[in-house]
Amino acid sequence: MALSLSTGSAPGGEDDSANPLGGVRSSYEGPRERILRDKTLPWWRRVLPVIASHRLTFLTAIVLSFVSLILQTLIPNVLGGAITGLVKHSSALHANVEHILVIGLISGVSGIVSRRYLFYTAYNVEADLRSLIYEHLTWLSFSFYDRVQSGQLISRANSDIRSVQAYSTFAPLIVVQCLGGILAFGFMLYISWILACIALVVMPILYFVGIKMRRVMFPISWIIQARLADVATIVDENVNGVRVVKSFAQEEAEVNRLADTAERVAWAYIKDAQIRGTWSPWVQNLPQLGLSLVLFFGGWMVLQGNLPVADIVSFNLYLLMLQAPFMMLGQLVMMGQRARASAERIFEILDENPDIVERPGAFDLSTVQGSIDFNHVGFAYNNGVEILGDFDAHIAPGETVAIVGRTGSGKSTIARLLARFYDVTDGAICIDGHDIRDLTMSSLRANVGVVLDEPFLFSISIFENIAYGRPDATLEEVQNAAKAANADEFIVNLSEGYDTVVGERGYTLSGGQRQRIAIARTLLVNPPILILDDATSSIDVHIEAGIYEALGRLLQQRTTIVIAHRISTIALASRVILLDEGRVVATGTHDELLATSALYVQVLAQTKPETP
């Protein structure tokens, strides 16, 4: 699935697009490559195809950065020549100054352009990773979301990706610095191979320190990212559950829970700081030991007349250039381990496979008649508790059937199975004689409309919420669907009518209003099979009567399953299926079951009385 995001046009019709050297682009093309699925590869190798998809800007940044460093390596040589000329009074100083200024100017421009391209690449890689995660999340099955907290997902899609992006920006700069260091070392060998060897005395120690840092940094980096995800989870739960928190006056308890989690994060950061404080000074100060040795032996060689003063100055400048990568080695190791921990947390999501997949050779469901067969269906959720056992039922085309049963008898599970949010564990579900597992999921869900008992609205306008399944719908079509769901009356009385933007999850509307918009959203798609999963539970009985009057006409044209608790809802159906412990125990009309089934009478008696 290609993901394409558009930022639109600038005010006044001007195009936002621009090149990487300035401005912003008008659109994001989406990820060009995917992360490798081979779990045996190191984390950076798995991410490499995503980075390589931006190879043009990435290589441009690297080449320009290297050009800048090459030019910088010429400056000590020019400076050495200037000092020699001053000592011998044999050359004009202004020529050397001009050379240094020209070299510095070209080097500076190259460095500026290089960094722009590098950050351009880094932020596009970040956008690719975020898009890949979101795209993968849309394909994962309901069972994944049953066991994973949303805060954990949010953390992986934000802070973890940012860690990987930061390392992908910083690491190439260090690589270029190392290449520049190799070039500087070549000049050092040319000036004095003896001093060059002395300068390298501390390098083996730096290598072993870096190995040790890498080993101790990874575990604490993982802990930091995991505990940041815990904080994100608590914040997400408290924002979404603020009404429950306030209803039970648990604000202080939730603040304390967040404080405890934040303290655990602080402990991890302190531990990280202690490790940095222990090992970073070694990395930063060991090169100074090499510098002092060079100064000592180089000064002795100058005094002995074996080395010109200009050469010792140039040599020390090259030594400083050689030490720059090692000075940043500690930061690179720490960022690398955090990026590794973050990448592996991202891979935990991307390596998940959906439970619900299309079979090879799956075909589209077309010209639907609406016949539904539940053939000895069995189902259990991941906890292993059986919900349906040998559920067997047939629904004729155009028939409206109410499914009634005690709480926990499996009514809503039937709706989820028919839309293939989950797969049956036994038996089969067929539409017009086709096993739904042989159908493409897009065509199945285009023909099976589900109105859930807990309607979800997006933080967009009412028009966009109703037209969610058909973005090309006209205002008239949206209004007709709203009228059929008895929602038009309250919508037109809102401040901005159909353009009114609802709050998060639609909480600026009442429960009944949200349910009516959800019904309108499904009716607009006009599916030949409709499932109403207790879809009017929050609607006043008087308003409900108006909805049923409109639905009564619509239901004649489609196969409908009504998961019901109210008698008024059951009245929509021509037949009732009584469910108990995941099995059909009786079927017939409402009046027939009242006369023949004591369990049916008990189930109806347990429902909330309908009061005007």
Cα(463)–Cα(498) distance, integer angstroms: 5
Give domain limits for the chain: 31-350, 372-606
What pLDDT shows up at residue 194?
82
DSSP designation for 356: S
What pLDDT shows up at residue 222?
78
Q: What residue type is assigned to position 350 of the chain?
A: L
Exposure b/e, 29-42, CB count within 10 A at least 16 = b: eebeeebbeeeeee
Alpha carbon separation from 495 to 170, 373, 499 (Å, rounded): 51, 46, 9
User: Could you tell me whether strands 372-380 and 559-563 are parallel, antiparallel, or unpaired per DSSP bridges?
Assistant: unpaired
Cα(483)–Cα(550) distance, integer angstroms: 8
Structure tokens at 83: 């000092």
Q: What residue type is assigned to position 185 of the chain?
A: F
Contact criterion met (CB below 8 Å) for 525 and 560: no
Cα(336)–Cα(329) distance, integer angstroms: 10
User: Could you tell me whether strands 448-451 and 529-533 are parallel, antiparallel, or unpaired per DSSP bridges?
Assistant: parallel
Cα(380)–Cα(388) distance, integer angstroms: 7
Structure tokens at 310: 């200009």
Structure tokens at 302: 């100058």
CA dihedral sign of residues 105, 106, 108, 113: positive
Is the model's pTM score more than 0.75? no
Cα(478)–Cα(21) distance, integer angstroms: 44
User: How many CB atoms within 10 Å of residue 5?
Assistant: 10
Record: fold of 372-606: Rossmann fold (3.40.50)
Structure tokens at 184: 């500087």
Cα(221)–Cα(200) distance, integer angstroms: 31
Cα(78)–Cα(80) distance, integer angstroms: 5
Cα(196)–Cα(217) distance, integer angstroms: 32
Cα(360)–Cα(475) distance, integer angstroms: 40
Cα(21)–Cα(236) distance, integer angstroms: 37
Q: Give me the phi and psi of 577, to 5 degrees please.
A: -110, 120
Question: Helix, strand, or coil here: 463?
Answer: helix
**HSE-up (13 A, CA, CB side) for residue 362:** 16
By C-alpha distance, which of 230, 208, 92 is closest to 154? 230
What pLDDT shows up at residue 246?
65
Torsion angle in degrees (nearest 10) through CA of 95, 97, 102, 105: -170
Cα(487)–Cα(490) distance, integer angstroms: 6
Structure tokens at 203: 């390098």
Residue 549: exposure state from Cβ atoms within 10 A (0-12, 13-18, ≥19): exposed
Structure tokens at 87: 């000592």
What pLDDT shows up at residue 435?
93
Q: What residue type is assigned to position 363 of the chain?
A: F
Profile the chain (612 residues) by mean pLDDT over runs of 10 residues.
34 40 51 84 87 87 84 75 63 69 84 86 85 85 79 78 80 75 79 79 73 76 79 72 65 79 84 79 71 77 75 76 68 78 86 86 88 92 82 90 86 89 91 92 88 79 89 90 86 88 75 83 87 69 63 72 79 86 88 88 69 38
Contact criterion met (CB below 8 Å) for 169 and 118: yes
In sequence order, what are the residues at sequence separation of 6 or more whose Cβ sits closer than 8 angstroms to the Cβ of residue 425?
Answer: 378, 379, 380
By C-alpha distance, which of 568, 562, 497, 488 is closest to 524? 488
What pLDDT shows up at residue 611?
39
Cα(133)–Cα(149) distance, integer angstroms: 15
What pLDDT shows up at residue 536?
62
Q: What residue type is assigned to position 304 of the chain?
A: Q
Structure tokens at 437: 């597992």
Cα(429)–Cα(257) distance, integer angstroms: 45
Alpha carbon separation from 73 to 77, 103, 288, 334 (Å, rounded): 7, 10, 20, 28
What pLDDT shows up at residue 326?
66
Record: fold of 31-350: ABC transporter transmembrane region fold (1.20.1560)
